Amino acid sequence: MTGEPLPGGFVSGVYRVAETVRRTAPERAGFVHALLQLLADRGWVGAPRPLGADEHGRQVLTYVPGHVPLTPAERAALATPETAAAVGALVRELHDLTAGSPLAGRHEVVCHNDLSPKNTVYRDGRPVTFLDWDLAAPGDRIADVAHCCWQFSELGPGQAHPAAAARLVRAVADGYGLADRGRLVDRILQWQSDCWHGIAAGIAAGDPRFDRLRDADAVTHVRAVQEWTAAHRAALEAAL
């Protein structure tokens, strides 16, 4: 494949060619293209613009300048209530733009379903654009909010300050303007369970896309994160 390899994704190669990004086309390429086109048509800068496909069949997107935090230290530096609230606000914009659209169907909105710092472009310390829309699908608002609460708060055994993590969870919900928070921790735990079960299934099936996750022992890691979240449930719910 031609282009400059970009760091990041576990399951697909991503390359920069001039001011475009070329990446392996998602399984539901038509839906993803339609979603990104809808967001582009409405002037939203929270997603790259779709530019079709190249001669290799790769998805072509606009290149978004900025910083993507890939190391634990980089992510920790951005883990502030102000940044978490800005993430929540950006997700709210996405949901409000897709609510009632044909792409959402009978669901509330279209969800990204893989929001994390590693899929976010930052400029001047603020989140501006979400990347990697392969898993986008119709869903409920709380699904994306819960995923953000997990990923942008760095929940898990590596979190030395549970109270600080709880404040970040609260900041995401506040930034989004989430009114009903009674199910939020349950939805976080469900995401974590679905994640490690999905990785385990992919590894067991011999899917080569999961080789790096297998080598990183991702199942053990995510299970530990779920156990940590369950153990600190009371603190998280109290903060909310």
Spell out the domain ranges in the chain: 4-62, 72-239
Give the pLDDT score at 14: 87
Letter for the amino acid at 84?
A
Here the tokens at position 151 are 């990923």
DSSP for the chain reads: --SEE-S--SSS-EEEETTEEEEPPPTTHHHHHHHHHHHHHTT--SSPPEEEE-TTS-EEEE---SB---SHHHHHHT--HHHHHHHHHHHHHHHHHHTTSTTTTTSSEEE-S---GGGEEEETTEEEEE---TT-EEE-HHHHHHHHHHHTTT-STT-S-HHHHHHHHHHHHHHHT----TTHHHHHHHHHHHHHHHHHHHHHTT-GGGHHHHHTTHHHHHHHHHHHHHHTHHHHHHH-
* pLDDT above 60: residue 12: no
Give the pLDDT score at 239: 95
β-pair partners for 139 = 109
* Segment 167-184 mean pLDDT: 97
Asked if 90 contacts 145 with a C-beta cutoff of 8 angstroms, the reply is no
* Segment 201-225 mean pLDDT: 95
Q: What is the pTM (predicted TM-score) of this model?
A: 0.94
Q: How far apart are CA 193 and CA 168, in angstroms?
A: 21
pLDDT per residue as tens digits for the range 47-64: 999 999 999 899 999 999
Here the tokens at position 200 are 């385990």
* pLDDT above 90: residue 4: no
* pLDDT above 80: residue 237: yes
The CATH superfamily assigned to 72-239 is Transferase(Phosphotransferase) domain 1 (1.10.510.10)
Per the model's pLDDT, the better-predicted residue between 99 and 158 turns out to be 99
Give the pLDDT score at 13: 78
Give the pLDDT score at 2: 65
Q: Tell me what the pLDDT averaged over the chain comes to.
A: 94
* Segment 170-178 mean pLDDT: 98
Here the tokens at position 144 are 């994306």
* Segment 21-49 mean pLDDT: 96
* pLDDT above 60: residue 42: yes
CB atoms inside a 10 Å sphere around CB 66: 14
pLDDT per residue as tens digits for the range 125-154: 999 999 999 999 999 999 999 999 999 998
pLDDT band at 9 (very low <50, low <70, confident <90, very high): low
* Segment 41-49 mean pLDDT: 98
